[in-house]
C-alpha cells in the first residue's frame, strides 16, 4: 500500500506545482475585490451601524433588567 500512497502524493504535488507555475506566468489583474473590497466593507459597516444606531435610539424603550413598573402605556392619539 505504501507505493500507491507515495504515487498519489507525487501526483497531487505535481498538480500543485503545475498550478503554481501556470499562475506565476499570468499577469495579475486586479479583481473587483482587489479594487473595492475594503471600501465596500467599510461602507457596509457604516450603514449597518447607522441603521442600528437609529433603531436603538429612536425606540422609546427604557433599558433595564426588569420592565415591571418602568413601561407605562402612552395615551391613544385620536
Domain CATH number, residue 11: 4.10.51
75, part of any domain: no
Spatial distance between the Cα atoms of 50 and 9, rounded to a whole number of angstroms: 52
DSSP letter string, 28-56: ----HHHHHHHHHHHHHHHHHHHHHHHHH
Total of domains in the chain = 1
Classify each residue of 28-54 as buried b or exposed e, where b means 16 or more C-beta atoms within 10 Å of its C-beta.
eeeeeeeeeeeeeeeeeeeeeeeeeee
Q: For residue 74, what pLDDT is reported?
A: 75
> Grid coordinates representing 37?
473590497
Q: Which residue has the higher pLDDT, 48 or 5?
A: 48
pLDDT tens-digit series, residues 15-52: 767 676 666 666 678 888 888 899 999 999 999 999 99
User: Whole domain around residue 40: which residue ranges?
Assistant: 1-58
Q: For residue 25, what pLDDT is reported?
A: 63
Q: For residue 49, what pLDDT is reported?
A: 96
Q: For residue 24, what pLDDT is reported?
A: 60
Amino acid at each position: 500500500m505504501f507505493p500507491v500512497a507515495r504515487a498519489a502524493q507525487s501526483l497531487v504535488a505535481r498538480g500543485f506545482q503545475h498550478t503554481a507555475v501556470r499562475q506565476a506566468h499570468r499577469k495579475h489583474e486586479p479583481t473587483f475585490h482587489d479594487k473595492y473590497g475594503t471600501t465596500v466593507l467599510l461602507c457596509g459597516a457604516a450603514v449597518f451601524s447607522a441603521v442600528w444606531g437609529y433603531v436603538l435610539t429612536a425606540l422609546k424603550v427604557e433599558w433595564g433588567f426588569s420592565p415591571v413598573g418602568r413601561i407605562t402605556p402612552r395615551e391613544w392619539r385620536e
